[in-house]
Amino acid sequence: MQLKLIVLVLFFGIGVILAQTEGTNYGAEITLKEKTKISDILADPESYLDQTVLVEGEILEVCPMMGCWMELKSDDGEGMIKVKVKDGEIVFPVEAKGSTALVEGKVYKIEMTQEKAIEHFEHVADEKGVEFDPATITGPMTIYQIKGLGAEIQ
């Protein structure tokens, strides 16, 4: 009887350890092996434009409305990059905030007039439930994001 109990406890413990080391997958299977630093993309985004990359970072924020985006902290702690997916195609859980994500996706840019930038950031602020001051947008702008294809969240 004691041996069965010990074996049962060992299997349960191994299961808990495996559950902690394996992540949950979202979207397509990750195929790339080599990671690109988020800081490298942020330093020279044009050189990564339209390239499929594999990035890893702490999840700073997740879209609380539809789970259609998440913000990943840069490896140097100096910035972040947004991973956006088509609404409903992949849904990132809000509870993932603070976890580590491994994401494969394509780098793209969005060029906006001042008016479109204000609309964009008002929408993002509304999703996050925070205040936004339109005076902070002083002209046209370009932002770079990753179109998420697949992700693993630890």
CB proximity list for 64: less than 8 A, separation 6 or greater: 94, 127, 128, 129
Output the pLDDT for position 22.
Answer: 67
Output the pLDDT for position 18.
Answer: 39
CA neighbor of 107 nearest in space, from 32, 51, 150, 24 = 51
| Residues with pLDDT less than 50, the chain | 3-21
Output the pLDDT for position 146.
Answer: 98
pLDDT tens digits, residue range 22-40?
689 999 999 999 999 999 9
**pTM: predicted TM-score of the whole model, two decimal places:** 0.80
CATH homologous superfamily of 25-153 equals Nucleic acid-binding proteins (2.40.50.140)
* Diameter of the chain measured on Cα atoms: 74
What is the separation, in whole angstroms, between the first and last Cα of the chain?
A: 36
Output the pLDDT for position 2.
Answer: 54
